[in-house]
A and B are shown apart, each in its own frame.
Chain A
Amino acid sequence: GENVEQHPSTLSVQEGDSAVIKCTYSDSASNYFPWYKQELGKGPQLIIDIRSNVGEKKDQRIAVTLNKTAKHFSLHITETQPEDSAVYFCAASIGGTSYGKLTFGQGTILTVHP
């Protein structure tokens, strides 16, 4: 089955700096790669996703890049703010007409210091 590895496990940055979180996946059939932000006591919230037919996607301060050949994808957050502090998870699945089960990375605790 799919295996997703995520690094780093913790990341501490100063407000205004950039943050990068990296993930690798094992199943070449995976074609859908979402990133979730989870705050304490809440369910994961989708922040950005990418499908395997594109290499990069950007939404304001957040961007995701995908390298299908190397089977890795990364989350980039620019101009970080204290409210970006949370746990971030990458995930992978096979999606088409319907979407199969999602495999999560181990999570990254991001702390943005004011």
Chain B
Amino acid sequence: GAVVSQHPSWVICKSGTSVKIECRSLDFQATTMFWYRQFPKQSLMLMATSNEGSKATYEQGVEKDKFLINHASLTLSTLTVTSAHPEDSSFYICSASHPRDRGGGYTFGSGTRLTVV
């Protein structure tokens, strides 16, 4: 089946630094990838939708200059949290949609636990 690999699985960084999270589709081309944020005991909240070769579409209330998304190839999307602060600590999850001839739907990465100290 379709596999999405997300790295790192966890990261601790100092306040003010930037952190990059990678999301790779291993056995299919992901035209569209999605980035979610999940706080403890809450649901997944969509942050942005990225399409290969174009600018990401951010959801209302998500700072695009703080959460930089790059989708330079059909198998890789990255999320960079810039100038991270403790309130950015969260669980970040990527997913990729796959076309109908690959079963349709979405595959999720394993998530990245970001802790900003």
A residues neighboring B (CB under 8 Å): 32, 34, 36, 41-46, 49, 89, 93, 95-107
Contacts and interface: CB of A to CB of B under 8 A. Distances in A.
Interface in B86-115: 91, 93, 95, 97-100, 104-111, 113
Contacts of A105: 43
Nearest to A99: B97
A44 B44 contact: yes
A73 to B, nearest CB: 15
B80 interface: no
Contacts, number: 60
Quick one: which of A42, A89, A97 has the most chain B CB within 10 A?
A: A42
A53 to B, nearest CB: 12
18 contacts: A32-B105, A34-B106, A42-B110, A43-B109, A43-B110, A44-B44, A44-B93, A46-B107, A89-B43, A98-B97, A99-B32, A99-B105, A100-B97, A102-B46, A102-B95, A106-B43, A107-B42, A107-B43
B113 A41 contact: yes
Interface string B12-23: 000000000000
Contacts of B110: 42-43
Quick one: which of A32, A46, A96, A97 has the most chain B CB within 10 A?
A: A46
Given A44-B108, A99-B98, A99-B106, 11 more contacts: A32-B104, A43-B6, A44-B93, A95-B105, A97-B99, A98-B31, A98-B97, A102-B46, A103-B46, A105-B43, A106-B42
